[in-house]
Amino acid sequence: MNEAEIDEKIENFKESLNLLGMVFDTRRKMRREIKNDKTGFVFNAKYQFKTRDGAVKVYLIFEDGKMTVHEGEIDDPNVTIYYKDKATLANLYDKSAEESL
């Protein structure tokens, strides 16, 4: 995979996260997974995704039934997922769920 293909896969990864946020916003059944008014459950968390070399830095915020995606680093994430490099991140998200296992 060349650099342009890697960059395209990284952008696809970011877009997939944005689409997931839209699903939580528009699908009531999905939104209940992160905020359920009947039970009082609210999932609030901060996830950081980044490469060891700092080439990719993306974070998610789950807050009060919303999920937002941002570029950069966030202070005090609940979870940080490190990838060896951009190629590793691109390869992982270029495969089907079955292939990834």
User: Which tokens go with 93?
Assistant: 């998200």
The CATH number corresponding to 3-93 among 3.30.70.270, 3.30.1050.10, 3.40.1190.20, 3.30.530.20 equals 3.30.1050.10
Name the residue ranges covered by the structural domains of the chain.
3-93
Model confidence pLDDT, tens digit, residues 75-92: 999 999 999 999 999 998
Nearest to 49 by CA among 25, 32, 71: 71
Q: Look at 27-31, 85-89, 91-95 and tell me which has the smallest mean pLDDT.
A: 91-95
Whole-number Å distance between alpha carbons of 6 and 1:
6
Average pLDDT over the chain reads 91
Q: Tens digits of per-residue pLDDT, 40-62?
A: 999 999 999 999 999 999 999 99
The stretch 17-31 carries a mean pLDDT of: 93
pLDDT computed for residue 1 by the predictor: 85
